[in-house]
A and B are shown apart, each in its own frame.
Chain A
Amino acid sequence: MSEGTVDLSGLSGIPGLIRCEEYDRDSMGEQLTELTHTVYPHEHVFGEYCTVHAHIECPPERVFEYMANPYSLLEWTYSVRKLRPVGGDGLLVGEDAASTPLYCRTISHREAMTVDYHCAWDQGDELWMIYLNRIIPAEAVLKRTGSVVIWTNCRHPYYRANPFPEREPRGERMWVGELWPLFYAGHTIELRNLKLILEHRYRLGLPAGPILRD
């Protein structure tokens, strides 16, 4: 196989690139140490993106199957309840945070092992609260059995202000985005729920679930 080369002229005119051809090890060291702190403010780490991750002692295919079933949200989330189909294209509606309508469409890719929940409060036309999940065989990344789940949220501008205030005419309800500073904690708790459920059922040889009542 021949050595891979690219035409570097394709990089000309792109300011800000840090590559070994222009930045020697010492210069790179300067960049690295400037960026390395002892502690990081919560806002710095979780201000615009919130990522949580966990190892789950359960095979990745089984984790995928469970998460790709949107009704699993009834089990492992703190407050998503009463999901039912609306329309015929996979959109569900349920309740979140006691009586807030929550719309959700689950988009999963088996080959890539991704399960994304596209959600919104109050309306199902613009699903902007997007929970991105990737399931990875732990054998590959941690040399152990089970799965690694990485869950990321991006701080969509709608988190900062309700774009559809007319949907909540009483105006008394706390907006979901006000909880953003607590997302790391909230998602950590929900991911722990997911881990506990999957590990419990797998350990005891039970169906992964969720088992739906008629």
Chain B
Amino acid sequence: MLPISLLGVASYLPDEIVTNEFFGPGVSERRGMFTPPTTRRHVSREQTAADMIERAAARLIAGLNLTPSRDIDVLFTNVTIPDQPFTGVGAEIAFRLGCQPRAVVDLHNTGCVSFVYMLQLARELMAGGGGKGALLCNVQNAAGRVFRHPEVRTTRQAPVPGDGCGVAYVAASAISPVLATVVELHGEYARDMTVAADDGRQYWEPGPTPIRVAFTETRVASIIARGNQLVPDRVRQVCGLAGKEVRDIDLLITNQPNPIFLRNWREALELPPSRHHDTYDVYGNLFGAGIPISLEDAIARGRLARGALLALGGFAHAGDYSGAALISWRGGE
């Protein structure tokens, strides 16, 4: 396979910083799956996913000195709550950035592990000659669009999500190579996460109650157990594919559903906290945007040296997808 490289990442975080008081009294004391971050960002009603991607992409394009019309011929997006139900955001992004990609993929699946899935698909596409440079865009905007609602924000899970956008550039190059990726499908878990309204209407039916993101309550224990298992399994698997050992990982970045999963994954992989970076406490659960945003944060803090072995991993929704990637990091230039 022709090498492809992860060359850089950039983030955009909405301006509004929301503290725990917003969600009601005593929120900071919650523990377990709903341990809240100290702060998180919320998108405003008017801010579109396209706006967020454009802001993050502008930083990435400037940082890597890209010319979009020449350097971006593959475009991937994943948006938690799409701006429009039918169309996908990719076409508008291409227009705003001034590029004409050969392939535009608005991914609707793989949620919190969509960055890894996009990386894998871009790699396969480009290895077959389907492009030279790909822009991967992750937007999480469910915090402001769903969990902020007055009737939803009092629920226990409402303080956990935060909004943000992370974008990444990968190119057919051997500079900062993706060594291996793995994404596994677990279709039997597909129905364990639902978007529903308390009055029982479908989310697309008009009604007076807000929609909520819910996990099948009877399955919570098994969802926790599978989440605990899936991410360490994928990280071990991707290390095996690349001929590396888990202990060789210099920095692990995962999706960040809550501090319990972060703790459990790192314990299972026997990695110290210093080699597992996250931004949960400031940004909350960033869903699919978590990996690129935390990656940029790690780079900015000097936690990722040139030549470091970088592992990415995560699982989606209630466990319907899990994945991991391994990169020999020399990006950012």
Q: Is A39 touching B267 in the complex (CB atoms < 8 A)?
A: yes
Inside 8 A of A39's CB, which chain B residues have their CB?
Answer: 264, 267-268
Q: Is B156 an interface residue (CB 8 A)?
A: yes
Contact A38 to B267, CB < 8 A, known contacts A29-B220, A33-B224, A33-B260: yes
Q: Is B32 touching A38 in the complex (CB atoms < 8 A)?
A: no
CA distance A37 to B221 in the complex (A): 12
Q: Is A212 an interface residue (CB 8 A)?
A: no
CA distance A33 to B263 in the complex (A): 11
Q: Is B268 touching A34 in the complex (CB atoms < 8 A)?
A: no
Q: Is B34 touching A38 in the complex (CB atoms < 8 A)?
A: no
Q: Is A32 an interface residue (CB 8 A)?
A: yes
Q: Is B224 touching A30 in the complex (CB atoms < 8 A)?
A: no
Q: Is A31 touching B268 in the complex (CB atoms < 8 A)?
A: no
CA distance A154 to B201 in the complex (A): 56
Bitwise, A13-32 to B at CB < 8 A (1) or not (0) is: 00000000000001001111
Inside 8 A of A29's CB, which chain B residues have their CB?
Answer: 32-33, 220
Size of the A side of the interface (Cβ < 8 Å), in residues, is 11
Q: Is B228 an interface residue (CB 8 A)?
A: yes
Bitwise, B318-329 to A at CB < 8 A (1) or not (0) is: 000000000000
Inside 8 A of B260's CB, which chain A residues have their CB?
Answer: 33-34, 36
Q: Is B219 an interface residue (CB 8 A)?
A: no
Q: Which of A32, A34, A38 contacts B232 (CB 8 A)?
A: A38
Q: Is A37 touching B263 in the complex (CB atoms < 8 A)?
A: yes
CA distance A31 to B33 in the complex (A): 10
The B203-253 residues at the A interface (CB cut-off 8 A) are 220-221, 224-225, 228-229, 232
CB distance from A31 to the nearest CB of B (A): 7
Q: Is A38 touching B31 in the complex (CB atoms < 8 A)?
A: no
The B10-62 residues at the A interface (CB cut-off 8 A) are 30-34
Q: Is B30 touching A38 in the complex (CB atoms < 8 A)?
A: no
Q: Is B156 touching A26 in the complex (CB atoms < 8 A)?
A: yes
Bitwise, A33-65 to B at CB < 8 A (1) or not (0) is: 110111100000000000000000000000000
Inside 8 A of A34's CB, which chain B residues have their CB?
Answer: 31-32, 260
CA distance A31 to B29 in the complex (A): 12
Q: Which of B31, B228, B268 contacts A30 (CB 8 A)?
A: B31
The A107-133 residues at the B interface (CB cut-off 8 A) are none
CA distance A30 to B160 in the complex (A): 14
Inside 8 A of B283's CB, which chain A residues have their CB?
Answer: none
Inside 8 A of B229's CB, which chain A residues have their CB?
Answer: 38
Q: Is B268 touching A38 in the complex (CB atoms < 8 A)?
A: yes
Tell me the A residues contacting B by CB distance below 8 Å: 26, 29-34, 36-39
Tell me the B residues contacting A by CB distance below 8 Å: 30-34, 156, 220-221, 224-225, 228-229, 232, 260, 263-265, 267-268
28 inter-chain pairs at a CB distance below 8 angstroms, sorted by A residue, are: A26-B34, A26-B156, A29-B33, A30-B30, A30-B31, A30-B32, A30-B34, A31-B31, A32-B32, A33-B31, A33-B32, A33-B33, A34-B31, A34-B260, A36-B224, A36-B225, A36-B228, A36-B260, A36-B264, A37-B228, A37-B264, A37-B267, A38-B228, A38-B229, A38-B232, A38-B265, A38-B268, A39-B267
> Which 6 residue pairs are nearest across A and B when measured between Cβ atoms?
A30-B32, A33-B32, A38-B228, A38-B268, A38-B264, A30-B31
